Amino acid sequence: MSRAEATSAVGSGSPVGATWRLLRSELRLLLGRLRIRAGLVVLAAVPVLIGVVVRSFGGPSSPSEGPPFLSDVTQNGLFIAFTALTVELPLFLPLAIGVVAGDSIAGEAQMGTLRYLLVAPAGRARLVLVKLVTALVFGVLAAFTVAVVGGVVGALLFPLRDVALLSGGTITAADALVRGLGVAAYVGLSLAGLSAIGLFVSTLTDVPIAAMATTVGLAITSQILDAIPQVSAIHPWLPTHYWLAFGDLLRQPVETSVMLQGLGLQAVYVAVFGAAAWARMTTRDVLA
């Protein structure tokens, strides 16, 4: 964030208005960065690759082969979006979140703009809030990017028919599109906890790459622990545990209890690590 932009973002007026201006400025700067645009292109390339490969070579012969939903792609193009989200959740989406959240404070410190932002006067609490909301918005944007591109590619390469649900029965393609948007929203919100963790880690260092790597490493560690039955007692508390619960949206009737648990857990992580980031920033000596 440049000094001129930071000053114009906060400016004068009510605290709410100043926060909103700073948030708009931060989102505009984030989406204007080449590495962020490149990251979104990479995320969008995955459903394109899945569609092209399945179109060229056919799908797996049984549902047990390949990632979930892949065997259904040839029958209905909408399943490309679900397959792509499933494929990207373990690594690609956490990596994208790690880049944004890990760079949020550490990047400003490395560039020497953090001190200016705090004097601008953005304020420490306002800055933490804006950085957190920016990371949360990016997570939702990343998930919708994958889902929308997957839906478009699926419509271009495969037929769009009534969708067979996981619980049996079918729904119309229009209803499936609505549920697909719900899946994307759930996946995006499920990344909220990781965004808050990344923001907190970013307040601990002036080296963005270290914060990014730590955030992604914690996400991978959580998934590894979630796959070990011997530590099942902690599974419900892991930030990645409910990531794939969006499959309940593809049942009739829709089962929301597990997804609500997942969103509740993300809210807890956002509250805890958002507060920790605020506490760290209020006591931190900013030297750059």
**CA–CA gap between residue 16 and residue 177 (Å, rounded):** 36
Query: Can you list the residues of the chain whose pLDDT is less than 50?
Result: 1, 3-4, 7, 9
Q: What are phi and psi of 37, to 5 degrees?
A: -65, -40
Q: What are phi and psi of 105, to 5 degrees?
A: -100, -45
Digit-coded pLDDT (tens) for 142-170: 999 999 999 999 999 999 888 888 888 89
Q: What pLDDT is stored for residue 283 in this prediction? A: 81
Q: What pLDDT is stored for residue 7 in this prediction? A: 46
Q: What pLDDT is stored for residue 4 in this prediction? A: 47
Joined together, the tokens standing for residue 190 give 């499920």
Q: What pLDDT is stored for residue 58 in this prediction? A: 82
Q: What pLDDT is stored for residue 13 in this prediction? A: 59
| Contact assessment for residue 91 and residue 167, using Cβ atoms and an 8 Å cutoff | no
Q: What pLDDT is stored for residue 119 in this prediction? A: 67
| Contact assessment for residue 142 and residue 189, using Cβ atoms and an 8 Å cutoff | no
Q: What pLDDT is stored for residue 10 in this prediction? A: 56
Digit-coded pLDDT (tens) for 187-222: 999 999 999 999 999 999 999 999 999 999 999 999
| Contact assessment for residue 48 and residue 151, using Cβ atoms and an 8 Å cutoff | no
CA nearest 131: which of 177, 172, 100, 156? 100
Q: What pLDDT is stored for residue 112 in this prediction? A: 75
